[in-house]
Amino acid sequence: MSGREVVVTGLGVVSPIANGVEKFWEGIKAGQSGIDHVKGMPDIDQYPVRIGGEIKDLDVEKYIPLKEARKMDPFSVYGMVAACMAVDDAKFDFDALDLQRVGVIASSGIGGMQFMQNECLKAYQKGPRWISPQLIPQMITNILSGYISIRFGFKGPNFCVTSACASGSHSIGEAMRIIQYGDADVMVAGGAEASIAMLGVQGFAALRATSRRNDDPKGASRPFDKDRDGFVMSEGSGILVLEEKEHALKRGAKIYCNASGYGRTGDAYHITAPDGEANEAARGISLAIADAGLKPEDVDYINAHGTSTPMNDKGETLAIKKALGEELAYKVAVSSTKSMTGHMLGAAGGVEAAILALAIRDGIAPPTINYTTPDPDCDLDYVPNVAREMNIDVALSNSLGFGGHNATLCFTKIK
């Protein structure tokens, strides 16, 4: 590698808690849940799972012409809005920006599920000739990267990474690599998802993966708690602007933190279940720490994947212990912000990377809310229920996806 350093200079978030980075961050620090009864599916009472994290009060027209937005699947709308926020936050002088040196890796775990579902229903009801010519471009996962590139004229590396719930983190990690290798100076990276629809809600319910606490939506996502019964599906987007450090300093950019390390591994174990031994998830954490030139004892905070499923939370706890060593693992603050946002699937890694940058900036470890009953298998310091002021020099974010995809990001404070 060329040794080029990478920093974070822009953030954009669309989430069930709030839209916009600072409002979202205020909600996270306050332990605010974005989960509620699903209102966007009129037949939701027919489903065994009736709760989720829906996007509310999004001013789409502020960022995208409504005529254009109506043609898009919601995942592209959320991703485009978050990308516009992030690029605005980075405050580029476009006249001075070499657009061939700016790229995009914006991803989704599932892509245009709502558009695809609706067109399939239309075809079954009216016949195949009724299928929209927009079906293919709106359902493919890479279309968001295309939209962002076209919107801003970014002509550098442009593609997507689809690795289920690790998609957002993989996108950011690969964007870091592209800058480090010298193939771009700036990358816009992250993920978006919009799967609260018939196929998404019932598909995960059929897997018995989602919480059925329909009578207590805000208490349903309870990572690491003994009484957890599954994740809560949510939607939204998290997009970051990553930049070569000297490029950012030369233009006087605001810098949130360093993007210092990245590790990725594969379980080679099962299509949906994590490996109970957690060896490869642990190795991914270790690779990210080593990639940043650090040691396990340097880690201050970990934003866990923390889905609120029995297997994930137990396995991730074990992975952290194996990567850091048990003695160190008990000293590190670990929290799952999915307790508040729900699980945003392919968008989760992007949103949680934004949280990582903000946690480092402000010296605040977000809480794991709904933590009431300790689990002997999950016995780390999960920052229960209340945010914690603390110095955070080194922070990690874990993302683990169906198929055994593991990704860990390491961000560090600017010195």
Type of residue at 5? E
Of residues 170, 247, 305, 405, which has the active-site annotation? 305
165 labelled catalytic: yes
Of residues 170, 343, 378, 405, which has the active-site annotation? 343
343 labelled catalytic: yes
Q: Which pairing describes strands 186-193 and 388-389: parallel, antiparallel, or unpaired? A: unpaired
CB 157 within 8 A of CB 103: yes
378 labelled catalytic: no
Distance of alpha carbon 299 from alpha carbon 414, whole angstroms: 15
Burial environment of residue 127 by CB neighbours within 10 A (0 to 12, 13 to 18, 19 or more): exposed
Of residues 160, 165, 257, 378, which has the active-site annotation? 165
Q: Which residues are catalytic?
A: 165, 305, 343
